[in-house]
Chains A and B, each alone.
Chain A
Amino acid sequence: MSDPCAIRVRDLRVCYGRREVIHGISFDVARGEIFAVIGPAQSGKTSLLRCLNRTLDFTPGARMTGVVEVHGQDVARTRDVFGLRRQIGMVAPLPVGLPLSIYDNVAFAPRAAGVRDRAVLDEVVERCLRQAALWDEVKDRLGSLGTKLSGGQQQRLTIARALSHDPSILCLDEFSIAIDPVTTMRIEDVLKQLRETVTIVLVTNLTQQARRLASRTMFLLNGDIVELGPTSEVFSSSPADARTYDYVNGIFG
């Protein structure tokens, strides 16, 4: 576990049927960094995340080749895919409160992993809701339905759930497209605090969000890496590739 790489990707290709959507990309994500992935729709950002925790398996006809390692462990060969998924917290674009109580939403993952002790679950629920900056708003109604929360609250609930299995990596897939700017800023603050303990992969189509948060940024376009470097360089006036400049300045994309 002394590997400085949280995620190592080598020549990753993803096909849906005959259509290849990621064309052999390689990159590393270091431990404890916020790594942003930017790019327009259809550039393979979500497919990339689905390779990390092998939820690509659930898409009929989807296939990945190449090597994806999470903490040095090859995801394609892992014996415990559920354990792999618990190492990665995943936050989807649209907030998904499960149709369970707020408490059960957060306790779902520990329970699925076999935790039965109520005291342990209580502790996990409170810690995760606090980390997601939701605790103060819901602590008096943990028994009410997660689906009845507002969109922004549900997205923070989703983050709390993604943290509930104590992941070492947190992936967020365009988490702010369905919520208001104020909530977005609150979650961004949350992410800055989480950086101390978890590695964050931030997929976003708000280029300014990547600029605010990420230490390094990768620009994906149609399944290829156009540019990968320190965020300050990607967003500088002279990035390595002219398309990067055009994209981050809103000239195309």
Chain B
Amino acid sequence: MRELTYLEAVREALWQEMERDERVFIIGEDVGVYGGAFGVTRGMVEHFGQERVIDTPISEYGIAGAITGAALTGMRPVGEIMFMDFTTFAMEQLVNQAAKMRFMFGGTIEVPFVLRTPAGSGTGAAAQHSQSLESWFVHVPGLKVVMPSTPYDVKGLLLASIRDDNPVIFIEHKLLYKIRGPVPEKQYTIPLGSADVKREGCDLTIVATSIMVERALEAAAQLAEKGIEAEVVDPRTLKPLDEEAIVRSVAKTGRVLIVHEACRTGGYGGELAAVIAGSEAFDYLDAPIVRLAGRDIPIPYNRTLEYHTVPQVENIVQAARQLAQGRI
């Protein structure tokens, strides 16, 4: 199959959907001729015009208002917030308005937008350009939260998100933009709320999100050389969560390691752990549920410090070995 980078897959999804549905448009800072801070929308303004690829002032609250309001009129906007850190400016509109409008108004209205934003560390951008704030959004009823890890998934999930009738927070990862993988040219959707087993194994389950799926798969390959077969499960959407797929895997392996980049305290891993502990998989657990997550510190600038702030392949290998060998 043809290969694309994750970034190209995002762009292809946007491009194809804008060709298919004239209600879809892009809005954000520097998304026009600049092509977006990471180049995701490069070439799109030349093809679709400034009316459908809209550059904005540096007004994240305004961007959130623009997509919320436009969605109310029947459009299907795709907003971009340049760094996830800057969603902090947009929170009022996303959390108080977009997320709650349908419920507050007795189900009489729909707010179909996607807000794309890149999260994550590893670029040396330090504390204000590296955060992973997905848990904030997961905690808000009315929002859906998607966190794709592969080029294939990012295209199918983005198309599904744009066609969804709810506000969707679509979290990309800067370090994933350059990874390559097979992506069909045709349009396809991946239903929100369906996890994916990225690798099968019988000794332990690794539930990982976003960039950590990539690292977990690398770790699993190393573990296999040592005779440990890890199953890697990617929830793909944090909300809605495919609880069944995760529970099924943990029931099979009896051990689970949860890996995410965001800070450990209050992170999504706590939710996953609670889901597993409260399910029938509890009876199959042979060891405590283990979480491997970012340290509870802001992301440091220094390369070495930054590296040691979030889980790396060797951390996953080490934690998985301890877990699989009954040392936890």
Q: Tell me whether A and B are bound partners.
A: no
